[in-house]
Chains A and B, each alone.
Chain A
Amino acid sequence: MAHLIVENLTKSFGSLKVLKGVSFTLEKGEVLAIIGSSGSGKTTLLRCLNFLETPDGGQITVSDKPLLDGHDNDDEIRKKRLHFGLVFQSFNLFPQYTVHKNVTLALELLSQEREDWKTNKKAILDEINKTADDLLARVGLADKAQAYPCQLSGGQQQRVAIARALALSPEILCFDEPTSALDPNLTGEVLRVIRSLKSADRTMIVVTHEMDFARKVADKVIFMANGVIEEEGTAQQVFENPQSELTKAFLTGFDFDKDEE
């Protein structure tokens, strides 16, 4: 069975139907790019996966485990969220903590729930600090560990946010327009980091307006329009040979630099 199965997901805000039955599957290690114009439901889909919104209907299954099972008290939802990680458009780093602490905070709090926390505290904290050091090195910010978010550029902040999300080793890492709040000259460094995360056991979903990025990095591309999946396929299928008129119209708005590779 696929690693992530989303079946007939629906969500309305009042009378506005934002998701009108969205279904797709994703294998472990695949990168899915979700594209589409504003208001097509991309972000809402991602927020439903992370339980920031409660879907009205449908099913989300991760590693054979259905998540929409009616158990939706705060603690259950908190545990379900941990299957997913989310990197926000606006970073949402914690301003009062150093870069290092931003990465370790959630791990520390979760470790306090472990049974061996009291007896093994020092070893656990050392482990967490090491994880954070490794992750910061991976996103190229080892030297900024003791800086505060306000001392970093937007691109650096977003890389910290990526390290922070990775710290909990989520099964599926989601990105909600990770470069939309950045100056054009800073998007490259963030996209490079995301690209470098691609590996056999890391499943990622990226909502993006960076078509070149989607084309080069994604294994699978979904084009959303009006709350449904209008077209889905491999990056090549969707970008080179789109079937739907809406997809064609959307893609003509972008200039592709096809000679780049």
Chain B
Amino acid sequence: MSFLEVTLFLWEGFKISLLIFAVTLLCGAPLGLPIAFCSMSKFKPLRALSKIIVWIVRGIPLMLQIFIIYYVPGLLFEFPLFSKIDIYMLVNYDIVDAGRIVAVLIAFTLNYACYFSEIYRGGIESISYGQYEAGYVLGMTKSQIFRKIILVQVIKRIVPPMSNEIITLIKDTALANCIMVCEIIKNAKELAANEALVWPLFFTGVFYLVFVGLLTILLGKLEKKLDYFRG
């Protein structure tokens, strides 16, 4: 296999990695917000529930969570949901791994939403109460205070920890190969097994590096953009 062929084959896998990355970010980041609010709720049962969920999700390896989500419907309810999706999509639309990918997306989104929620909570709780009070005495509603005053300050404070999580996320997508999703490392391992090529496995690092490089520049720009105020 030529270098170009290997690169293209790995790129096919990296597209799946990028898909997992994008969906996790687009779904997990908003989902983290209600979880954060529940964790800060004055209503004790809700707060307890949300803290327990966050504890479990952060306390179990993500790989294990992927297994649980993928296998539990079949093991507990004798209904292997994700395998059925796999077969259905393959037969009807010629798409491989669809069910597995859905299982991975669910696991990733839940997992990252919980991590994000804790970052949000930390950010929101770090804003001085004086900012709320200033809003109150100026006749603002709670929602106006959150949207117009607190939110931007929180965003500024959480950009660095969020950047960290986002960079971890792209590398975590490699975990999807534990249920045989054809992400980039799975493809590289296939080349090792079928073509006796070992170097592509190490070459995958270049894909991650380039992408993380782009992310770093982008997130750095965002951080700079919010540099116009202190607070």
Contact = CB atoms under 8 A, between A and B. Distances in A.
Interface of A: 50-52, 74-75, 78-79, 81-82, 84-86, 88, 90, 92-96, 105-106, 109-110, 148-150, 164-165, 168
Given A74-B142, A92-B134, A105 B230 contact: no
A148 B138 CA distance: 19
A168 B153 CA distance: 24
Contacts of B141: 74-75, 78
A106 B139 contact: yes
B229 interface: yes
Contact of B136 (A52, A93, A95, A148): A52
B43 interface: no
Interface string B122-164: 0000001011011111111110100011001100100000000
B138 A106 contact: yes
Interface residues of B, number: 23
B138 A164 contact: yes
A219 to B, nearest CB: 24
Nearest to B131: A92
B136 A81 contact: yes
Ranked 5 nearest A-B pairs via Cβ = A95-B231, A106-B138, A92-B134, A92-B130, A150-B230
5 contacts: A51-B136, A85-B137, A94-B131, A150-B231, A165-B138
B228 interface: yes
A180 to B, nearest CB: 14
A150 B137 contact: no
A95 B153 CA distance: 8
Contacts of A79: 139
Contacts of A51: 136
Contacts of A75: 141
Given A88-B130, A88-B133, A81 B229 contact: no
A90 B130 contact: yes
A174 B103 CA distance: 58
A84 B142 CA distance: 18
B139 A168 contact: yes
Name the residue among B149, B153, B228, B229 with the largest chain A CB count within 10 angstroms: B229
B229 A95 contact: yes
